[in-house]
Every structure is written in C-alpha cells, then in structure tokens.
Chains A and B, each alone.
Chain A
Amino acid sequence: MTRVAPIAGVAITHELAGPIQLEQRDAVEWSGTEATEPPLLIRHEVGDTRSTGMQPVLTVPPWCTFYVDHAGEPAAIFHGVLGEVERLLTTVIAGSVYRVRYAGAPREPVIPLQSELTAYSFGLAARGTGLIAHACAFVTPSGDGVLCPGVSGTGKTTLARLLGAAAPAVTLLTDDRAIVTLDADAVRVWGSPWPGAAGIAGAASASLTTVVFIRHGAAFQRRLVSAREAFRRIVNTLSMPLWQPARCGQALEIVDAIVSRTRLIELTYPPTEAGARWVASEVDNRVAAGVQ
C-alpha cells in the first residue's frame, strides 16, 4: 500500500498485489494539500490486459489508447514501450476506484505516473469537479492564482524556472500540470505532483484570477484576449473527458467558467529573467517593485 498526499483535496492510495512495487527513488517531493474530497483508490495487479468488449476512442501513439467499456466508463491501455509491461487501466467505481492490470510481473518497481495521472483525470471527470491543465501555474504575492496554459514547447518550464530565479515573491505551483477546480463560488488553481522538467510540484492553491497565454519574443507586449479566443487556445491544453457526453458537458462548463470569470491576457516577452520579472509584474503590481 502506497499513499499519495492529497492532490487538490483528493488523497490517492495505490493498493499493490503480488510482485508489483512502485518506484520510490525518483518520486517527486509532494507535501500534499488538505484532504477535503473523497479519496481515490488505484489497485495494481497482474492479469488480463486485453481490451475485449471495449470501444477505442482515442489513440496517442505510441504511448496509449483510450477506450470506453460496456458501461461507458473510460479505460486506457498503456503500451509496452521503453521496455515497460503493457498495462490496462479500468474503472471499477467511477470517481473512486480504478484498477491497473499488468500483462506480466514487472521486473522492476514501476513508475506509476501514467496510471496515477490518468486515473486521477478519470476520477476528476467522473466527479465533475475539475480538469487537469497542461500549464505552468503560480500564485502572486497578493494571493492571486495565475494559469499559463500551453502545449509542449510553449515555454511553460522555461517561465517557471525563470520565475523561480527572478521573482522569488511568487509561489510556483507547477511547471507542467495544474489542476483547475470549480465549485459554486470560484475557479481555483492547484499544483500537482506531476511536474515537467523543472520539477516544480507546489502543494498550494489559489483562486484563479488570470490566464496568461505566453509567447516568446524580443519585445515586451501585452494584449487582452477575448473569451472566445481564450476558449480556442485553452481547450486543447485541458484533459477533456471525450468519452462521455455528460462529463464532457460538465467539463465545458468549467472551461466556460475559466474564460468568463478570469482576466485573459497574452504576454510576449524574451525568455530571460527580465522577461519573467515583467510577466510577474503584469499579473500583480506588487511584484513590480524593483522591476527595471
């Protein structure tokens, strides 16, 4: 049994059967948030990984294929690339319990990143409470949450590293995967234990007040972004549950809340410490002190 401290309020327990062990050496330092939501259980076992009776819905070559099972619940096969054993992730109880089956006994302790992240994403969608965003995120000294969404290569990790070096007053949440939740009152952004190359895994959260679309350029430029443009730019960075209409509908409502309730800007800046300080100043004037 391995426990992961709560992620956006949701604690994860990995229940291990037989010879399966989880890799601990490279585990991210994750202190966790307060546990405010029901926990998530992921059972790991050796068994049949065939997708019999399931319908494929999305292929992400070469890594995995997503399915829906006979009950309309999501599943995923993580293909045996890079010497890993093929694994089948299925839904046992939507939003609460997921199972990872390994095609054979892994010869080494397994890194649970893929299965944990995917099960968490399935669970979040089943609960209808939030989405995982491919984004850099941080909190300003004023306590405002800032989300910088973008596909790979946009500059999320670079920005996070530069902010860490040049704007110590901001609290970094993540350089790669943020969690955005919606309740009746507010949209909230959280860090996660699934960082990018910068390794930033901040177990904090804040009310999401600003979404920044980042661009690298020689000049410093700030542009307001319309909700319509923001929707088009952000949606492909979010873990949309395309396997179920109702859940996709809930996800779109969260996206609508993000683009309707937050300040939306595009910032173009050089990828330097001065650029990062300028980004920080643009989202929180208190940080501007000392900026050249």
Chain B
Amino acid sequence: MTANQGDVTPLKWSRATKVIARRVAGETVLVPLEARASDPEFKGARLYVLNETGEFLWSLLERPCSVSDLARNLTLEFAAADDTARADVERFLVALREIGAVREATGHHGE
C-alpha cells in the first residue's frame, strides 16, 4: 500500500463511528462495519489487529489529529526520525481509511 500524501496531510482525522475496538489477547482489534457493504468479495469477519505503533496512533485518534500531530507524538514516544514517523503515520491513515476505520474530522471537532 502506498501512502497518498495529498489525500491525508491537510486534514484532521478521527476514529470512524462505525468501528469497534476491543482488547483481545492483549492486542487491539478493530472491526470496521462500514466498508463491508460495498465489498462484493466480503464473505467473513474482517478483523484488524494493530501493532504497537498502531495501538498508540489509534489511542491518539480518540480526538481529531492531523498527520503532523500524530507524527510528532510518534517521534516523542518511539524516538523515531521525523520523516520516518510521518511516513508511518500516512501509511497508517491510508490503510485505516481504506477499511473505514478513520474519517475526516469535521470542523466542530476543533479543526
């Protein structure tokens, strides 16, 4: 999957409303419920397990965040290089947007 910088950087992002997240076996599991209806190949559960950085970014997305917000926090938490953190954040957001787990935050959320 390739990050599309133009798609994600100017916006603030937050968790989609139709996604559930639960801790299972010590991991965060996402079940997006919006993307499936438009997926003709959908035949079973689509569950997504977040890795450590994914869990961290997901926790931040409880409130609307920009790519810069997320990348800055990722850099602080994991001592990642700025450009690496930003690329990771963009990849993460693109992936989560594709599965319907994040959405553009609307203005009243503080954009």
Task: Decide yes or no whether B103 CB sits under 8 A from chain A.
Answer: no
Within 8 A of B (CB), among A237-278: 238, 240, 242-243, 245-246, 248-249, 252-253, 255-256, 259-260
Interface size class of A (residues with CB under 8 A): 20 to 34
Chain A contact residues, CB within 8 Å of chain B: 55-60, 226-228, 230-232, 235-236, 238, 240, 242-243, 245-246, 248-249, 252-253, 255-256, 259-260
B25 touches A228 (CB 8 A): yes
Q: Main secondary structure on chain A at its contact with chain B?
A: helix
Query: Cβ of A227: which chain B residues have Cβ within 8 Å of it?
Result: 25-26
Write out the residue numbers on chain A whose beta carbons fall within 8 Å of the beta carbon of B40: 59
In whole angstroms, what is the CA distance A259 to B25 when docked?
7
Least distance between B88 CB and chain A CB atoms (Å): 22
Which of A59, A226, A230 is B42 in contact with, Cβ under 8 Å?
A59
Using CB atoms, name the residue of chain A closest to B27: A228
- A230: chain B residues within 8 A (beta carbon): 25
**Which of chain A's residues have a CB closer than 8 A to the CB of B31?**
242, 245, 248, 252
Q: Is B33 an interface residue (CB 8 A)?
A: yes
B43: A residues at CB distance < 8 A: 58-60
Number of interface residues of B (CB under 8 A): 21
Counting residue pairs across A and B whose Cβ atoms lie within 8 Å, the total is 62
Task: Report the stretch among B3-11, B16-24, B73-81 that lies at the interface.
Answer: B16-24
Q: B87 within 8 Å of A by Cβ?
A: no
Residue of A with least CB distance to B40: A59
Q: Using a CB–CB distance below 8 Å, which chain B residues touch chain A?
A: 18-20, 22-27, 29, 31, 33, 36-37, 40, 42-45, 47, 49
Q: Are B25 and A57 touching (Cβ within 8 A)?
A: no
State how many angstroms separate the Cβ of A152 from the closest Cβ of chain B: 13
A36–B33 CA distance with the chains assembled, in angstroms: 33
Contact between chains at B45 and A235 (CB < 8 Å):
yes
Instruction: Judge whether B36 and A242 touch: CB under 8 Å.
Output: yes
Within 8 Å by CB of B24, from A55, A58, A226, A259, lies A259
Q: Which residues of B contact A55 (CB under 8 A)?
A: 37
How far apart are the CA atoms of A246 and B15 in the complex, in Å? 16
A242 touches B24 (CB 8 A): no
Partner of A242, one of B22, B45, B49: B45
A58-B36, A235-B45, A245-B33 known; A252 vs B22 contact (CB < 8 Å):
yes
Contacts of B27 in A (CB 8 A): 228, 231
In the complex, the chain A residue whose C-beta lies closest to that of B20 is A245
- Asked if B25 and A231 sit within 8 Å, CB to CB, the answer is yes
Contact A249 B20 (CB under 8 A): yes
A256 touches B45 (CB 8 A): no
Question: Is B22 a contact partner of A249 (Cβ separation < 8 A)?
Answer: yes
Please name 22 pairs of A and B residues whose Cβ atoms are closer than 8 Å in the assembled complex, sorted by A. A58-B36, A58-B43, A59-B40, A59-B43, A60-B43, A227-B25, A227-B26, A228-B49, A231-B24, A231-B25, A231-B29, A231-B49, A236-B45, A238-B45, A242-B36, A245-B18, A245-B20, A248-B31, A248-B33, A249-B20, A253-B22, A255-B24
